[in-house]
Structure 1
């Protein structure tokens, strides 16, 4: 029991400590030379190493970046200022869509520990994905001698003489093929014939040269088909070169690796959740509709009509009240002038009536 408690203390109980232990063990598993010989056993010590600003932490981050993209080795080695190195680290992390463009506190080690550890874990996941892809590629290469020979031939075609980077791959310059490539094809097919037991005699020189010409023709046809395939790939990848200073920065190879890795994880998580939770619901038959839906529709229409009649009655009532109030105001408020004073409408009408009666009485008499 006491040993178990010590193990829990060593691993740490908080999320930061558990993540620190995971990141530290991953660095050791990947063979990071900067953690060899430290022999840290406490999660707090690992967290201090990974989340506290120091030169050692910067070197660990530099090793991680170089492991992801080995071409950065010369660029980082040429930088003398620590601030410039931090800026390049931040720019590279932004290209991988793991941090913001001005998030230098995260690179320096000034951000919250949990955020730093999540950032380091995501970087190490990219390294692990690259390692697994490389190991799978090596296993595929060992599947047969013919495949190895094809890979050797493609390796020669992609050498510095012909294609040293992605742009040269997208724009091949191996047509017509150079002489040393044809010699390589002849040697490869000669070696293949020897392994198959096709040993020729001096008297078979003419037949042998004829067979070599046929093999060379087949090899050239294979290389031309490879060239057409590369041209098709170039057409499909034109979006990578359309805006070199704009949106193409977000489509760098490292950013695409991260996006593919994230998409794979999302698809795996969705497949697991679908098979365990939602698959049973999705396979259920749809509910049967009731035969009495017309009744509900009729009731709905009647209720709607009733609501409209009630709204009309409410409007009529409000209009009646308004007219009553207006008539009352006309009868009680003094609004009309007569002999220097204001009088109500009934008084004015009564006075006008009296005048008219007096006028008629005078003329009738």
Structure 2
């Protein structure tokens, strides 16, 4: 027996189908949640008809395709409905158990609910009065859209401004990339061919790179050594300054540490006098 959550979902889908005027619910009188759940999730002619009606509302050209099929070609209908669900990324392309009503009831209700969401999210699919004209209008709209897109692309690529963007007079690319953007013929003229280079040429380049890396490493070591010496010098200067006695006026001499300690004692004496 179905759980309370699935029964509520089935009741919600049933109400949506009633509001949308599903013809396969005419003469069907069920009100109990369990009965509604069995109607939508148990294999039957009515359930298959409801799902077929939903699919033709999602994709109207299916209505004309189904109308020429014989009753014995029911499997073809179910395969087309599964194909539609697959194209909408709602199920597998051969998920016939879902179409027949043999899959888990929760999966069936989710499938129906998502199809109804698609219908209600598209104003052109919600109106029953426009259903017949939508089938023809969909194909015509697609052809019109493709033609308009082709014209737009032709206009874009033939535009003077577009060509100027591709080949600007002031090249915005860095110098090291400009050579790569040249036509292949120009690159071949500027860059030496690999066939003309010998092993000796490659060895010379490797030696240059090795020498440059060695020099760079020596410079880094020298910089680290200088930094270390500077740090030691600063530390020694600070240590000496802290230990050197200096004149602070009044003829008294003391280190910085002794002077700060004396000032602290004077301040504490002052606070104690205020407390009394």
Question: TM-score normalised to the size of structure 2?
Answer: 0.47
Rg comparison, structure with higher value: 1
